[in-house]
Amino acid sequence: MLDTRGSWLADDELASARQRLPIVYVDAVPVRTDDRGQVTLIGLLLRAMPDGSISRAVVSGRVLYGERVRDALLRHLEKDLGTMALPRVGPSPQPFTVVEYFPSPEVTGFHDPRQHAVALAFVVPLDGDCAPSQEALDLVWVTPAEASSPEFQAEMSGGQGRLVRMALAHCGLLP
């Protein structure tokens, strides 16, 4: 595993970088699957968002300098869902889409008021027990129909609801 302790930017350095260049992120949509590999539940976090609001969200975080995308995925899944989540991430994970977050919500509909971020988005099956940790306030498991409902979509901001719908479409599960 890569030692990332020296890869962190100081807060002022990160703020400066965010004003000057896109930052690479991973977004992970945690799922539970049945014996046939069909998605049965989607895990969504409750967390404080960059704009100060509270919202449902997928697992997300920066890829550090020198860090492989797979390692960043595993690191953020463990950070947000705990060490016993047991994600199934292959040796060369492939995103189901690439999302661009902008400070202005009008550009793509994906919004992060802090920065322009490019996120590789993955659907990640989990086999273990999950417990929200770090900045996550709560974790809820919902069916694909619940996750795509207008009521639940209203609980997600910054384009997270749209990302979940894209993940469901990728899995062939949009009702």
Q: Which domains does the chain have, with CATH numbers?
A: 15-170 (3.90.79.10)
Q: What is the mean pLDDT of the chain?
A: 90
Of 53, 7, 30, 54, nearest to 141 by C-alpha is: 30
- The backbone torsions φ and ψ at residue 145, rounded to the nearest 5 degrees and listed phi first, read -65, -40
Q: Distances in Å between the alpha carbon of 6 and those of 3, 9, 10, 120? A: 7, 8, 10, 23
The helix/strand/coil state of 54 is: strand
**What pLDDT shows up at residue 6?**
57
Q: How many CB atoms lie within 10 A of CB 147?
A: 27
Who wins on pLDDT, 86 or 2?
A: 86
Mean pLDDT confidence for 43-60:
86
pTM to 2 decimals?
0.88
Higher pLDDT, 133 or 51: 133
Is the model's pLDDT at 3 over the cut of 70?
no
Q: What CA–CA distance (Å, rounded) separates 19 from 77?
A: 27
